[in-house]
Structure 1
Amino acid sequence: MTSLGVVYRPQLPPERLRPIARAADEAGLDELWLWEDCFLESGIATASAALAWTERLHVGVGLLPVPLRNVALTAMEVATLHRLFPGRVTVGIGHGLQEWMGQAGARVESPVTLLREYATALRALLRGERVSTQGRYVRLDDVALEWPPLAPVPVLAGAVGPRSLRLTGEVADGTVIDARVTPEGLRAALDLVSEGRRESGRTGAWPVVVYVLAATGPGARDRVAAEAERSGPAFQGVGAAGAAEEIAGVVRGLAVAGATTVVLQPTADEPDPEGFVRFAAEQVRPLVPR
């Protein structure tokens, strides 16, 4: 099954979230994804609000930058969301953009080590375990959640480089990949994820969330091209622009390559965010096999 989502870009002010979340819910969009980009908006606060304002919409947070967040606090927040809104939320974690981590005084020498320690501790806490660990970065002394989730909670992890992609397969429960990937690049990335899964003896279904730059309406191709140009050389030649069938074709290609959720990432200058989520739900979704 392939789910279709849309990103609520944090370049929009927080007060825009409610009408966009409501529009997504009413239109039947599968998922709305949120970012915790520095120094824009909180991922957990926006997720809580979006879930409370909607009835059926699934909300994803991708990603929470782990250098900024104590793992016990993240476990408390994630567990609370799952108790309040069971089955309606997915949370992913990641290294965070290193420049931003430096600005916040949170940059670490080994982001891969931190993510490994963090994901391991977070998953254990969310399983209701009592955790003591003295790692290089993550240190807990007899910590257990009083209100752990009532059902298993997947923790996804985002990655770009080969070491991090392998790590997601080893220590997370799914992988989040940003909008620079083509179907061919996604297959190569998932080969690395599979290496990590094999090393840790992990089998079974594996959620794969992939973002894709997207725009429709007048000037759509120019807006996607400009966004890719601003994002850097790695984003050149990616994205989806045009009518519903053109965008659905890109989504289907990523699904065949291994994506279980494709999240349309509107350009930062999208003129009608509410209209975009309705377009995704009402025109693109019917063209993507479930």
Structure 2
Amino acid sequence: MTTLGAVFRPQLPPERLRSVARAADEAGLEELWIWEDCFREGGISSAAMALAWTTQLRLGIGLMPVPFRNVALSAMELATLARVFPGRVRPAVGHGVQDWMAQVGARPASPMTCLREHLSALQALLAGERVTTSGRYVHLDDVALDWPPAQPPALITGATGDRTLRLSGELAAGTILTGGTTPDGVRRARGIVDEGRALAGRSDHHEVVVYLVAAAGPDSAERLERECRRWEFPAGADVTVGGDAESVANGVRRWAEAGADTVVLQPTEDEPDLEGFVRFAGEQVRPLLG
């Protein structure tokens, strides 16, 4: 069954998060995703607050830029959340926007090496292992968490390029595909992820999460058109869904049929009522998906 979520966009001030998270929780929406975009809300702090304000909602952090973070600190923070809110934390890591990484003096010469080292060490630490490693970017000397989670959260990797998709298939439990990914793009990405899984000899399930730009209501077509221009999506690209609940549900099914396990509705920048949007997703769209 397809998992449905929504995005709390970081262009909104952090004080809006409480009402949006509670609206999503009350509406029965399965997941709310937050972005750790520079220089807006922090991913871990936002997730901690939203988890504390809700009872069932899962919180996705999509994503934490690995050059921005020491891997031991990431492990400590995620382990804390996973112990206090077991099964409700959905962390994702990735390269981050390289211009932002340069602004803080953290742009790596080899983003792929940085991501591989960070992801491998983070998985081991969350699994309760004692880690010593001296890589190009990750250096740990006899490090282990005092409070590893009983159920380590599955780590997801954000990926767009082919090399990162293969790395995600090789090492991660899942892959996030960015908004602007067409159904055909999902199929292609899953195929490349599977190449990495085959190289690593993996046969476990690999989750694919996709952000899907969405709008509801009578003005949804106009807002989606403006959003496509903001993101500079190709004209006529099959990258959005909008309208009433049935139309949005039909769109979600198309991305699911293409290979997405989780579809996260990404509201437009000019969404006038985000609390209403997440209620619409949870109360009207979710029941139509079975």
The interval holding the TM-score normalised by the smaller chain is over 0.9
Pair 1:83-2:101 in alignment: no
3-state SS of 1:105 partner? coil
Change (3 A) 1:9 1:236: farther
Q: Which residue of 2 aligns with 1:103?
A: 103
Give the 5 Å matches for 1:120-159. Answer: 120-159=120-159
Contact 2:31 2:59 survives alignment (8 Å): yes
Q: Which residue of 2 aligns with 1:258?
A: 259
3-state SS of 2:147 partner? coil
Q: Which residue of 1 aligns with 2:166?
A: 166
Partner AA of 2:262 in structure 1: T
Partner AA of 2:260 in structure 1: A
Q: Which residue of 2 aligns with 1:189?
A: 189
Contact 1:6 1:33 survives alignment (8 Å): yes
Change (3 A) 1:236 1:72: farther
Q: Tell me which moved more, 33-42 or 201-210.
A: 201-210
3-state SS of 2:141 partner? strand
Q: Tell me which moved more, 73-82 or 252-261.
A: 252-261
Query: Residue 99 of structure 1: CA displacement?
Result: 1.1
Give the TM-score normalised by the residue count of structure 2: 0.97
Give the TM-score normalised by the residue count of structure 1: 0.97
Query: Residue 5 of structure 1: CA displacement?
Result: 0.2
- CA distance in 2: counterparts of 1:54 and 1:261, whole angstroms: 20
Query: Residue 232 of structure 1: CA displacement?
Result: 2.3
- Equivalences, count: 289
3-state SS of 1:38 partner? coil
Query: Residue 151 of structure 1: CA displacement?
Result: 1.5
Contact 1:229 1:236 survives alignment (8 Å): no
Pair 1:267-2:273 in alignment: no
- CA distance in 2: counterparts of 1:105 and 1:221, whole angstroms: 41
Gaps of at least 5 residues in structure 2 are: none
Give the 5 Å matches for 1:220-259. Answer: 220-233=220-233, 237=237, 238-259=239-260
Give percent identity, aligned residues only. Answer: 60
Query: Residue 246 of structure 1: CA displacement?
Result: 1.3
Change (3 A) 1:171 1:234: farther
Query: Residue 112 of structure 1: CA displacement?
Result: 0.8
3-state SS of 1:209 partner? strand
3-state SS of 2:266 partner? strand
- CA distance in 1: counterparts of 2:198 and 2:110, whole angstroms: 23
Query: Residue 219 of structure 1: CA displacement?
Result: 2.0
Contact 1:57 1:88 survives alignment (8 Å): yes
- CA distance in 1: counterparts of 2:198 and 2:184, whole angstroms: 21
3-state SS of 1:210 partner? strand
Q: Which residue of 2 aligns with 1:288?
A: 289
Change (3 A) 1:216 1:90: same
3-state SS of 1:166 partner? helix
- CA distance in 2: counterparts of 1:135 and 1:235, whole angstroms: 43
- CA distance in 2: counterparts of 1:235 and 1:153, whole angstroms: 38
CA RMSD of aligned residues (A): 1.1
User: C-alpha offsets along residues 243-283 of structure 1, whole Å, 9 cap, x if unaligned?
Assistant: 11111111101111111110000011110000000000111
Query: Residue 152 of structure 1: CA displacement?
Result: 3.4
3-state SS of 1:279 partner? helix
3-state SS of 1:226 partner? helix
Query: Residue 233 of structure 1: CA displacement?
Result: 3.5
3-state SS of 2:222 partner? helix
Q: Tell me which moved more, 225-234 or 122-131.
A: 225-234
Q: Which residue of 2 aligns with 1:210?
A: 210
3-state SS of 2:198 partner? helix
User: C-alpha offsets along residues 1-55 of structure 1, whole Å, 9 cap, x if unaligned?
Assistant: 2110000111110000001111111111111111101111101101000000001
3-state SS of 1:262 partner? strand
3-state SS of 2:202 partner? coil
- CA distance in 1: counterparts of 2:153 and 2:11, whole angstroms: 29
Contact 1:179 1:235 survives alignment (8 Å): no
